[in-house]
Homo-oligomer: A and B are copies of this chain.
Amino acid sequence: MAIQITKETDYAIRCILYLIGMNGQVCTVGDISREQSIPYTFAAKIMQKLARAGLIESVRGVKGGFVLKRRPEEISLLDIVEAIEGPISMNICVLDRKSCDRQPRCPVHPWWVEISEVLRERLGEFTFDRILK
């Protein structure tokens, strides 16, 4: 676990980008997988996560697929990162205080809390309306 988003998250961003480009049209996993060069079953998993997070909506059955559920300005990098990887923290101790074995207080802990928060804020500022310009 180094300081980098996963390939899955990178794929997820491409998925959203693709849906934005399709302007409300329902797209299948097949379309997305083909156009964005993402392995089919992996793309399917990613779309499920994005749907559970409420960023996109699934339509089941023949003629089904996925559509964007929010407008581009309502979707940020943070939304996608958290939909795929879960809550952000620069060090596990931020989310799970027990994991820090240097009880009761590690002097660096508050720094990680602060840096994690800064990163969240920044990721939240990058919304997809900005990308179209």
Interface residues of A (CB under 8 A from B): 1-6, 10, 13-14, 17, 36-37, 77, 81, 85, 88-92, 101-102, 107-108, 111, 115, 118-119, 122-123, 126, 131
Contact = CB atoms under 8 A, between A and B. Distances in A.
A102 B14 contact: yes
A4 B107 contact: no
Given A37-B101, A115-B122, A108 B1 contact: no
A22 to B, nearest CB: 15
A4 B2 CA distance: 5
Contacts of A131: 107-108, 111
Contacts of A90: 3-5
Contacts of A88: 3
A10 B91 contact: yes
Most chain B beta-carbon contacts within 10 A, residue among A4, A14, A17: A4
Contacts of A37: 101-102
Contacts of A89: 4
Contacts of A17: 107-108
